Amino acid sequence: MSSLLYHGSSRPNGVRRLTTAVAAGALAIAMVSLASPAAAGTAAATTAATMTAETPWLDVSADGYASFTLPAASVQAAIGQVSQVVIEGNFGPSSTWVEFGLTRRGDAWSGVLGPLKPGLYTYQVTGDDTKGLKDPTNGTQVASQPLWSTFFVAGDSASLLADAPQGQGGTVETLTYQTKAEERSALVWTPPGYAAQRPAKPYPVLFLQSGGAAGDWLDLGRAKQILDNLSARGDIEPMVVAISGATDGKELKDLRKAVGDRYRVHRDPARQAVAGAAEGGTRALLAALARPNEYGYVGSFSGLADDPGRLDAKDVNRHVKLLRLYTGNVTDPGYNATVRLTEALDRARVGYDFDGVNPDAGGNWNAWQENLIDFLPRLFRNVSDHGPSAGHGQLKGEFAPPAAGTTPTPFVTDDGFVTFETTTEFQDAQNVKVWANWAPGGSWLRVPLTRVGDRWRATVGPLDPWFYYYRLIVDRASVKDVSNPTKVTSEPTWSTFLVNGEAARLLSDVPAGQGGTVESMTYRSTVANQDRTALVWTPPGYDPDRAEPYPVFYLQHGSGQSYTDWVEMGRAKQILDHQFLDGDLVPMVVVMGNGNVSNFNQELLNNIVPATRARYNVSDDPSQQALAGLSMGGGQTFGVLKAYPGRFAYVAAFSAGFGSGAGVDAEAINNGTKLLRLYVGDQTDFVYPSFTASLPTMNDLGIRYEFDGVTPGPHGWDVWQKNLIDLAPRLFKR
């Protein structure tokens, strides 16, 4: 498979500081220790602290990498001593709320996440599951969630979410009004050039509700930016938009009156619209269906109304010009409700538009931003397009994971949704999460599970076709999913699963009987003074008596790993099997030895190589030998190359730096090496800085090498699998 599918630009990524609304320097802020959204329902004490923050805790690169660096002393001053710090935010699959674990390095907690797609991101800092903290260096605010901060990743796909050019936007002001029970307030957006006094022509009006506070549509939904940009482009009719929390029919009537008294708006129902997200969508829909002669346009974004009650289809169809429904994928709490609602509307013969299932978002603000962008241009005008948005799919009936306890986990659907479920042994736990490599590029995120009876459960997705590994985290302790029979020898709490698809074909099993063979080879280690084991892959049709010996490829693991990892985690057998059957691979023997020794050069040359030659029909010609490794194994590979140039004609290092050039015989390396190929992950790979720093050393020495370009992903198996996929077909062909 072409490496172009897996590798990106090698251009260094520039970094900019997160723009804040306050100058760097002394910033006093109250920090409240609350249960986070991921730990809703848990008890949490409220504390207050003030602190001085001079250096931003978050840097965001121009291409979407978020680098967090939190001074440990500042965190401790705010929430006390903690053993774990995470960044909670909407970074997960379908923009779900997840945790990104930070690593304590010296006097700071740090981590890099990305690349993130263009859009608005929300986050908070949390220690030990329940101790929440607002980033004091980020001046953005979410009024309804005091611990949250936001940042924006710019890009063409999020251009409507960016601030409009200065002077081109509308105005937002607060409207206070009286209901029968209490005084309430709404936010009102008026378009550029709005004229409130007669004889100005009245404006149509949209009543837009959120599922929480009115301000959420501004702080999280980017409603002002969307309205400003669509207005500046001429894509929407000039209108007034009244934004409120979820409002029932009576309260909505009070708001409509207050808006009519204060603003120059149409009283004609045909020039009035109502819409909302989540509970706000439910209220908007039910209000419109109950009184269809009051609104000409209705929108429900992830609404939860599954039973609209008795409907007068004739009345609804006569008065409502547009009834448009929106839902995210099966992770959206409104998905099943939307299935039932459409069935009810169909039975009643009520006309409606359906935007289709958004495959990439659940029931969250990322989806509702898109819904608002689609809905607004349809208001108060005739449109010819009543179909779904591009890329949206059809409803396929209600989503129902298997009943509790009926199937091993994880349960993987054909379209990449994965349901995790624990056994009953954690029924008394306070927090259960699943940690896996499903962040961009294969970084690791934690998805909180929800207690369901005496088990914990969550559905995550859609995941791209690929190989995934995970562990449960129960009250901050790593635990194996005992319902999953897969194992990782070097990581006893890990389990694995595969999401099938063309992109993951090389990581899937080939048909039974068509692949090569993996067997154990025991050899005597004079370095470790013990018998040790290597795993050896031989190709289909391997002939121990073949006249021409086979080329041999020695493939090494990294630190903390062992000889089993390239098979259990690297999918080396599957990759080699497929590439051989595809005709891309020279028939070869691949040896995966144990590199955990004090002197790898001696272990390889005096122990692993002789044992391999004694047992397998492999060549001793340097031109028919290859050596590669990842991380520590890559460093060991460079060590062999420097000390014994020419012993292996094909050499590659994955996520490892060349190191010092002292005493290196560049001419011998160039003369004896047919291929020296280098690989590294992106900014989330912690060796990226040392790797890039080592390239000038090799250049100055005049060593000839190929750099494959940055492989998107961290210091992890997603990257190294792709490196092997690229490397193996290149061996023994020059």
Mean pLDDT score of the chain, rounded to an integer? 91
Helix (H) or strand (E) holding 228: helix 223-232
Pairing mode, strands 322-327 and 297-301: parallel
Mean pLDDT for 700-707 is: 97
* Contact in structure between 447 and 90 (CB atoms under 8 Å): no
CA separation for the pair 165, 153 (Å, rounded): 17
The pLDDT value recorded for residue 31 is 34
Indicate the angle between helix axes 717-727 and 572-581, nearest 10 degrees.
30
DSSP notation for 375-409: HGGGTTS--S--SPPTT-B---S---PPPTTSS-S
pLDDT digits (tens, 9 = 90+) for 538-568: 999 999 999 999 999 999 999 999 999 999 9
3-7, 358-362, 465-469, 521-525: the lowest-pLDDT one: 3-7
Name the band, by pLDDT with cuts 50, 70 and 90, for residue 43: very low
The pLDDT value recorded for residue 209 is 96
The pLDDT value recorded for residue 189 is 98
Q: Is the pLDDT of residue 2 over 70?
A: no
The pLDDT value recorded for residue 178 is 86
Kindly list the structural domains of the chain, giving each domain's residue range(s) and its CATH number in brackets, ordered by start: 15-154 (2.60.40.10), 161-378 (3.40.50.1820), 411-505 (2.60.40.10), 509-730 (3.40.50.1820)
Name the band, by pLDDT with cuts 50, 70 and 90, for residue 41: very low
24-38, 132-146, 343-357, 516-530: the lowest-pLDDT one: 24-38
CA separation for the pair 176, 173 (Å, rounded): 10
The pLDDT value recorded for residue 47 is 32
* Contact in structure between 30 and 49 (CB atoms under 8 Å): yes
The pLDDT value recorded for residue 13 is 34
14-23, 393-402, 684-693: the lowest-pLDDT one: 14-23
Mean pLDDT for 418-445 is: 95
CA separation for the pair 353, 375 (Å, rounded): 11
Q: Is the pLDDT of residue 40 over 60?
A: no
- SS3 state of residue 238: coil
Residue, of 609 and 36, whose pLDDT is higher: 609
Name the band, by pLDDT with cuts 50, 70 and 90, for residue 310: confident
Name the band, by pLDDT with cuts 50, 70 and 90, for residue 725: very high
660, burial (CB in 10 Å: exposed 0-12, middle 13-18, buried 19+): exposed
Q: Which of 559, 587, 578, 366 is nearest to 467 (CA)?
A: 578
* Contact in structure between 654 and 723 (CB atoms under 8 Å): yes
Question: Helix and strand tally (H, E) in the chain?
Answer: 16, 35
Q: What percent of the chain has pLDDT over 70?
A: 93
Mean pLDDT for 381-397 is: 94
pLDDT digits (tens, 9 = 90+) for 49-79: 334 447 999 999 999 999 999 999 999 999 9
Name the band, by pLDDT with cuts 50, 70 and 90, for residue 20: very low
The pLDDT value recorded for residue 37 is 37
Q: CA distances (Å), 567 to each of 129, 464, 497, in order?
A: 35, 22, 14
The pLDDT value recorded for residue 199 is 72
Beta bridge partners of 69: 110
CA separation for the pair 510, 78 (Å, rounded): 54
CA separation for the pair 112, 45 (Å, rounded): 29
Q: Is the pLDDT of residue 531 over 60?
A: yes
The pLDDT value recorded for residue 715 is 97
Q: Is the pLDDT of residue 29 over 80?
A: no
The pLDDT value recorded for residue 38 is 37
Name the band, by pLDDT with cuts 50, 70 and 90, for residue 308: confident
Mean pLDDT for 512-531 is: 97
pTM assigned to the model: 0.89
Name the band, by pLDDT with cuts 50, 70 and 90, for residue 506: very high
